[in-house]
Structure 1
Amino acid sequence: MIKRIALPALAALALAGCGPTGPANTVTADNADVEANAVGNEAAPGNALAAVLGMSDRQRNVVFIRALMDAGIGCQHVTSSERLPDQDGKPLWRVNCSDKTAYMIGITPDGTANIVSRSDR
């Protein structure tokens, strides 16, 4: 099942003085071009992907729990998230909830969260 939702508050959250406070994000050769493009366009208004890429793990997990809640998915707490290899040239994260469910979430520059879940697991 794939759910797509817009996160209009994402840009406001990212621009509200929430700079990265954790360790630097890991960039692999597979996602270096996409990340460089997103970060290079960070000054462009509304680039939610650049904001997410620049967040600490804690801040990013807040964005992910909000995306899951807005999509009507019952995740009480995001325990962790892990950057995966890009899918179709777009950054992707595995998001783990406290109830042991996992979702794949991709954020687009316009703030749309694409959430993939598997109901058979």
Structure 2
Amino acid sequence: MKTSLFIPLIAALALAGCGSEPAPAPAPAKPKVAENGVDYQAAVAALPVAQRNGVFIRAIRDAGLPCQGVTSSEQQGDSGSIWRARCEGGVEHVISIEADGNAKVSTRAMTKQ
């Protein structure tokens, strides 16, 4: 009796797989590039340290935050778009380089008003 139930079960499982296609593989992630074809995130990452820190101080100052100079910067994660920049005095800012080349600056620094 056990054998007679086992054979139809195997047949049902074999038929269940017929006609179904495997799920397509996910598309590889495309690098984010601006409309002009420039990959600004890669361009910033490829800069020498002094030039990259210069880009970051400009972004920080354009955001209206005080910074006398960027003393160090380091990439955060694998995306190439997030950086941590440390200003003289120890204040750190997180800078996100967008695909269009704009930079968004986030900070926990308290400014005097």
Question: TM bucket by the smaller chain?
Answer: 0.5 to 0.7
Where does residue 73 of structure 2 map in the other structure?
81
Gaps in structure 2 of 5+ consecutive residues: 1-27
Between structure 1 and structure 2, the one with the greater Rg is 2
Structure 1 segment 13-52 matched on structure 2, within 5 A: 37=31, 44-52=36-44
Structure 1 segment 64-103 matched on structure 2, within 5 A: 64-86=56-78, 91-103=81-93
Cα distance in 2 for partners of 1:54, 1:48 equals 10
Q: Percent identity?
A: 38
**What is the alpha-carbon root mean square deviation over aligned residues?**
2.6
Greater RCO, 1 or 2 (C-alpha within 8 Å, sep 6+): 1
TM-score after normalising by structure 2: 0.60
Gaps in structure 1 of 5+ consecutive residues: 1-32
Q: 1:119 Cα deviation (Å)?
A: 3.7
Give secondary structure in 1 for the equivalent of 2:74.
strand
Give secondary structure in 2 for the equivalent of 1:61.
helix
1:50 partner letter: A
Q: 1:46 Cα deviation (Å)?
A: 4.3
1:57 partner letter: V
Q: 2:49 aligns with which of 47, 52, 57?
A: 57
On the 8 A contact 2:40/2:99 being kept in 1, the answer is yes
Q: 1:37 Cα deviation (Å)?
A: 2.3
Moved over 4 A (4+): none
TM-score after normalising by structure 1: 0.57
